[in-house]
Amino acid sequence: MNALNVAEYMQTLGLQARQASAAMARAEAATRNQALRALAALLRASTADLQAANARDIDRAVAAGLAAPMVDRLKLTPKVIETVAQGCEQLAAMADVIGDIVGMRQQPSGIRVGQMRVPIGVFGMIYESRPNVTIEAASLSIKSGNACILRGGSEAIDSNKALAQLVRQALASAGLPAEAVQLVQTTDREAVGQLIAMPAFVDVIIPRGGKGLIERISRDAKVPVIKHLDGNCHVYVDAPCDLEMAVKVTDNAKTQKYSPCNAIEGLLVARAVAPQFLPRIAAVFEAKGVEMRCDADARTIIGEARTRAATEQDWSEEYLAPIISIKVVAGLDEAIAHINHYGSHHTDAILTRDHMHAQRFLREVDSASVMVNTSPRFADGFEYGLGAEIGISTDKFHARGPVGIEGLTSLKWVVLGNGELRS
Amino acid sequence: MNALNVAEYMQTLGLQARQASAAMARAEAATRNQALRALAALLRASTADLQAANARDIDRAVAAGLAAPMVDRLKLTPKVIETVAQGCEQLAAMADVIGDIVGMRQQPSGIRVGQMRVPIGVFGMIYESRPNVTIEAASLSIKSGNACILRGGSEAIDSNKALAQLVRQALASAGLPAEAVQLVQTTDREAVGQLIAMPAFVDVIIPRGGKGLIERISRDAKVPVIKHLDGNCHVYVDAPCDLEMAVKVTDNAKTQKYSPCNAIEGLLVARAVAPQFLPRIAAVFEAKGVEMRCDADARTIIGEARTRAATEQDWSEEYLAPIISIKVVAGLDEAIAHINHYGSHHTDAILTRDHMHAQRFLREVDSASVMVNTSPRFADGFEYGLGAEIGISTDKFHARGPVGIEGLTSLKWVVLGNGELRS
């Protein structure tokens, strides 16, 4: 396709999505759930075909010399297929939120006013490598009564096409428009530029991928973007604090996995407990090979030989690796100021026994998730009971933090009267 | 100021607003309410001074040959001052929403997860003529724990400066930062361009004014905009329907006032009731001098001499005048399709006795407010019980419809644990 053809093609997808979104918004919950269960059954029945399509992507990736972890992420194993099939069934079993009416109250004029939850319309999703995201996004779109346009990575195009074909079949089998979930069939990069600039057809964009990709999309998009750029998360060990618990939670927050955006990158310790706490956590980090980049006070306590000096840059860094920055702070005020200044407004926790400190931390730390006495690793749609997660937002407009089905909906006002007139 | 100076000046306002917003978010409800009551008292005590400043604006406007209705909108009469003072007191008396925690539930892991309502941070407001908007925006900002930067019309600059000075005094008297509400002191147009493009300092822009202004701001803004461009609202008279009520509500929806965005521009009538209903409403409109632009069927019923033929353009038009478009439709499906196609997603009402039709209209009409058996003129923050209205949004992201205090807040996740670890 040339650029003109890509633009026309994307406009066609957009128009079809917009039309399909009206049918999806009208559809009963039972119908949408039927499509989800049909999709689960089709995924299981098509495991061999899906693996055949996936093998073409894998072969291309290997031939292109892609690194082994990247090739691994591409793989549609029977286990991955079973997992996404179960995900569809779990969504089908969840209560429906579309059509819920909340807060209906009678007003002095006599009218009753409330808010109804409705689908947002059409979302565009831009993602890389893992083909299972195609099913995760499609199933969330169906459950939430939206239409979507999916743009996966070019490296997974054969897998994604095979998956998208199953989604079309599942939708059609339930009497829903097959165009409610459309995969962009071209790998032309121009398609992304078009997708993010069609406000008439696409209501919101959800990018998943590297920071560079998300920055570009946010800059150029003509519609809202649900996104987070960084996960520079913190644990602050307060005084007084249960040090036994603090060691375990801090360890979990940093080392349970290094790559997720909700793993911590910074550790702040109140001066009053630093001499007791830091040697204990340092022993844990050392045993696991976690590099400690410390301010002068923390280095003095842990020892210069076991640590490196932190630079100003370290306080802002998202390592996603076995490296942690450590700073001794005077107390709560300095901890809150540090997190609000250097953090990424993603997820931050205080470990404390002081109730007033806990309340102030919750109120004053300006992050999407604020926690007391537990691990920032819990910042996740499933752990929060959302039943699903389409992404994480560090913005404050619309959805914030882990975004589930409600983030793909809006509340419209419903007014019921008996002939009342405005005077 | 030259352009460079304006840019520097706006950056300074932005930085000050961001710093003040942290103090506002920390402030107790009682402190913010104290500032609001102090502002009410200062407004009343300064009526003479405010009128003196306002007289300078009025003199300039008259000298410049501004039309009389425009000059009227500029006036800060004792009555207008008393009204905004009362508004401040009403806000002070309202329950506080900041710090509310909703939906706190225990999850399988043991953590408890809920959402806390917090201020959004800093909003920028851009408006024209009426200086009372300065106090409305300032008081909403104080109540919601935000900071704001206000850019009023150049024609009201002296009035706005005098009002903003009172707001500074009121904030300071309650121990809050005076920079929590800042008025842009220059009338240079470049200031607007800067205000809407400082994502580091301003979280959301709320423009009020003509469609051209709002379109420009939406196009150029680098932050979210809470806005509506058009109010092409409808009443659909269904079959069966209480025709007595339908005449009264349709009359109210069109003629109670012509200029508000929630006055209707289009009337749709089900074919089955058109012969009974149209002559009655036509008589009302004729008596009030409302021009009727009709499709062929409506013209036949009402009479060619009393109507004009509607053009395709009429179905999309926001007249804000004694003109209405009238169309006979087959029934509910055509009405919904017409409204979703030609309407502006603002406010639309069905007048019906059929429960199933009412339910479908509420669900399927894609507007910020959908109504049954009452007048679209009720689409208003005060009528909805919000206690205030900062604007109306026809977008689906974040706030939708009349936007009150909650639209200036966001929900962050709050997680309480007892040392739980992610596994």
DSSP B48-68: HHHHHHHHHHHHHHHHTT--H
On whether the CB atoms of residues A207 and A123 are closer than 8 A, the answer is: no
Residue A260 preceded by cis peptide, ω within 30: no
Is residue B259 classed exposed, middle or buried when 0-12, 13-18 and 19+ CB atoms within 10 A define those classes?
Answer: exposed
pLDDT of residue A394: 93
Longest dimension (CA), chain A: 80
Structure letter (DSSP) for residue A127: -
Q: What residues of B are in contact with residue A368 (Cβ under 8 Å)?
A: 412-413
Q: What residues of B are in contact with residue A220 (Cβ under 8 Å)?
A: none
Given this chain, do its domains B3-226+403-414 and B233-378 carry the same CATH topology?
no
Pick among A341, A353, A359, A422 to test the B interface (most B CBs inside 10 A):
A422
Contact flag A418-B374 (C-beta cutoff 8 Å): yes
Tell me the pLDDT band of B207, cut-offs 50, 70 and 90: very high
Q: How far apart are CA B135 and CA B148, in angstroms?
A: 12
Give the number of other CB atoms < 10 A from CB of residue B35: 28
Contact flag A378-B418 (C-beta cutoff 8 Å): no
Tokens of B40: 């009410």
Nearest residue of B to residue A355, measured between CA atoms = B416
Contact flag B372-A107 (C-beta cutoff 8 Å): no
Tokens of B24: 């506002």
Nearest residue of B to residue A403, measured between CA atoms = B413
Q: How far apart are CA B409 and CA A398, in angstroms?
A: 10
pLDDT of residue B271: 98
Tokens of A347: 């997820």
Residue reference for tokens 């057809």: A201
In 3D space, the residue among B214, B261, B221 whose CA is nearest the CA of residue B368 turns out to be B261
Chain centre distance of CA A244: 31
Pick among B261, B413, B418 to test the A interface (most A CBs inside 10 A):
B413
pLDDT of residue A313: 97
Tokens of A262: 């909700």
pLDDT tens digits, residue range B254-301? 999 999 999 999 999 999 999 999 999 999 999 999 999 999 999 999
On whether the CB atoms of residues A143 and A32 are closer than 8 A, the answer is: yes
Within an 8 Å CB–CB cutoff, is residue A373 touching chain B? yes
Which of A400, A412, A422 lies closest to B369 in CB terms?
A: A412
Contact flag B410-A400 (C-beta cutoff 8 Å): yes
Question: Helix or strand or coil: residue B22?
Answer: helix
DSSP H or E segment with residue A334 = helix A332-342
Residue reference for tokens 């079309």: A168
On whether the CB atoms of residues B294 and B308 are closer than 8 A, the answer is: yes
On whether the CB atoms of residues A367 and A349 are closer than 8 A, the answer is: no
pLDDT of residue A69: 85
Calculate what percentage of chain B has a pLDDT beyond 70: 100
Give the number of other CB atoms < 10 A from CB of residue B97: 18
Which of A113, A362, A396 lies closest to B385 in CB terms?
A: A113
Calculate how close chain B gets to A411, using CA atoms only, in Å. Answer: 7
Tell me the pLDDT band of B129, cut-offs 50, 70 and 90: confident
Calculate how close chain A gets to B30, using CA atoms only, in Å. Answer: 16
Q: What residues of A are in contact with residue B22 (Cβ under 8 Å)?
A: 340, 364, 366
Contact flag A410-B419 (C-beta cutoff 8 Å): no
Contact flag A204-B397 (C-beta cutoff 8 Å): yes
Residues with Cβ within 8 Å of residue B64, at least 6 apart in sequence = none
pLDDT of residue A345: 95
Contact flag B384-A113 (C-beta cutoff 8 Å): yes
Which of B116, B374, B415 lies closest to A415 in CB terms?
A: B374
Tokens of B206: 């709320």
pLDDT tens digits, residue range B134-176? 999 999 999 999 999 999 999 999 999 999 999 999 999 999 9
Q: What residues of A are in contact with residue B340 (Cβ under 8 Å)?
A: 22
Q: How far apart are CA B207 and CA B215, in angstroms?
A: 10
Within an 8 Å CB–CB cutoff, is residue A420 touching chain B? yes
Nearest residue of A to residue B205, measured between CA atoms = A397
CA atoms within 13 A of residue B314's CA, in its CB half-sphere? 18
Nearest residue of A to residue B199, measured between CA atoms = A395
Q: What residues of B are in contact with residue A242 (Cβ under 8 Å)?
A: 419
User: Would you tell me which residues 207-266 of chain A have a C-beta closer than 8 angstroms to some C-beta of chain B?
Assistant: 224, 242, 245, 248-249, 252, 256
User: Would you tell me which residues 381-400 of chain B have a C-beta closer than 8 angstroms to some C-beta of chain A?
Assistant: 383-385, 396-398, 400
Within an 8 Å CB–CB cutoff, is residue B410 touching chain A? yes
Tokens of A119: 């689908």
Kindly give the pairing relationship between strand A264-270 and strand A323-329.
Answer: parallel
Is residue A68 classed exposed, middle or buried when 0-12, 13-18 and 19+ CB atoms within 10 A define those classes?
Answer: exposed
Pick among B98, B397, B406, B409 to test the A interface (most A CBs inside 10 A):
B397
Tokens of B126: 């851009």
Q: Which architecture, in CATH terms, is B233-378?
A: 3-Layer(aba) Sandwich (3.40)
Contact flag B374-A242 (C-beta cutoff 8 Å): no
CATH number of A3-226+403-414: 3.40.605.10
Tokens of A168: 């079309």
Is residue A105 classed exposed, middle or buried when 0-12, 13-18 and 19+ CB atoms within 10 A define those classes?
Answer: exposed
On whether the CB atoms of residues B330 and B239 are closer than 8 A, the answer is: no
Which of B242, B364, B383 lies closest to A26 in CB terms?
A: B364
Structure letter (DSSP) for residue B225: B
Nearest residue of A to residue B23, measured between CA atoms = A364
Q: How far apart are CA B276 and CA A83, in angstroms?
A: 61
Give the number of other CB atoms < 10 A from CB of residue B238: 25
Three-state DSSP string of A54-84: HHHHHHHHHHCCCCHHHHHHHCCCHHHHHHH
DSSP A12-28: HHHHHHHHHHHHHHHS-
Within an 8 Å CB–CB cutoff, is residue B377 touching chain A? yes
In 3D space, the residue among B138, B182, B175 whose CA is nearest the CA of residue B39 turns out to be B138
Structure letter (DSSP) for residue A176: -
Question: Helix or strand or coil: residue B222?
Answer: coil
Q: What are phi and psi of A117, to 5 degrees?
A: -85, 125
Distances (CA, A) of A92 to A30, A31, A101, B205, B255: 9, 10, 21, 39, 48
Q: How far apart are CA A181 and CA A135, in angstroms?
A: 10
Tokens of A239: 């005084």
pLDDT tens digits, residue range B318-376? 999 999 999 999 999 999 999 999 999 999 999 999 999 999 999 999 999 999 999 99
Longest dimension (CA), chain B: 80
Q: What residues of A are in contact with residue B413 (Cβ under 8 Å)?
A: 368-370, 379, 384, 400-402
Q: How many CB pairs under 8 A join A and B?
A: 207
Contact flag B366-A249 (C-beta cutoff 8 Å): no
Q: How far apart are CA A56 and CA A62, in angstroms?
A: 10
Q: Is the pLDDT of residue B83 over 90?
A: yes
Beta strands in A127-201 (DSSP E): 147-151, 181-183
Mean pLDDT of B228-254: 96
CA atoms within 13 A of residue A51's CA, in its CB half-sphere? 11
Which of A204, A364, A415 lies closest to B26 in CB terms?
A: A364
Cα dihedral across residues A236, A237, A239, A245: positive or negative: positive
| pLDDT tens over chain A, length 423 residues | 676 799 999 999 999 999 999 999 999 999 999 999 999 999 999 999 999 999 999 999 999 999 998 899 999 999 999 999 999 999 999 999 999 999 999 999 999 999 999 999 999 999 988 999 999 999 999 999 999 999 999 999 999 999 999 999 999 999 999 999 999 999 999 999 999 999 999 999 999 988 888 999 999 999 999 998 889 999 999 999 999 999 999 999 999 999 999 999 999 999 999 999 999 999 999 999 999 999 999 999 999 999 999 999 999 999 999 999 999 999 999 999 999 999 999 999 999 999 999 999 999 999 999 999 999 999 999 999 988 888 899 999 899 999 999 999 999 999 999 999 999
Q: How far apart are CA A396 and CA B146, in angstroms?
A: 13
Which of B249, B400, B420 lies closest to A410 in CB terms?
A: B400
Tokens of A82: 């079973």
Is residue A341 classed exposed, middle or buried when 0-12, 13-18 and 19+ CB atoms within 10 A define those classes?
Answer: exposed
- In sequence order, the β-bridge partners of residue A181 are A148
Kindly give the pairing relationship between strand A101-106 and strand A112-119.
Answer: antiparallel
Tell me the pLDDT band of B192, cut-offs 50, 70 and 90: very high
Domain range summary for chain A, segments of one domain joined by +: 3-226+403-414, 233-378
pLDDT of residue B4: 72
- In sequence order, the β-bridge partners of residue B123 are B148, B204
Report H helices in B319-417.
Answer: 332-342, 355-364
User: Would you tell me which residues 324-353 of chain B have a C-beta closer than 8 angstroms to some C-beta of chain A?
Assistant: 340, 349
Calculate how close chain A gets to B410, using CA atoms only, in Å. Answer: 6
Calculate how close chain A gets to B49, using CA atoms only, in Å. Answer: 34
Within an 8 Å CB–CB cutoff, is residue A416 touching chain B? yes
Chain centre distance of CA A411: 21
User: Would you tell me which residues 70-99 of chain B have a C-beta closer than 8 angstroms to some C-beta of chain A?
Assistant: 99
Distance spanning both ends of chain A, measured CA to CA:
59
Q: What residues of B are in contact with residue A99 (Cβ under 8 Å)?
A: 363
Cα dihedral across residues A89, A94, A97, A100: positive or negative: positive
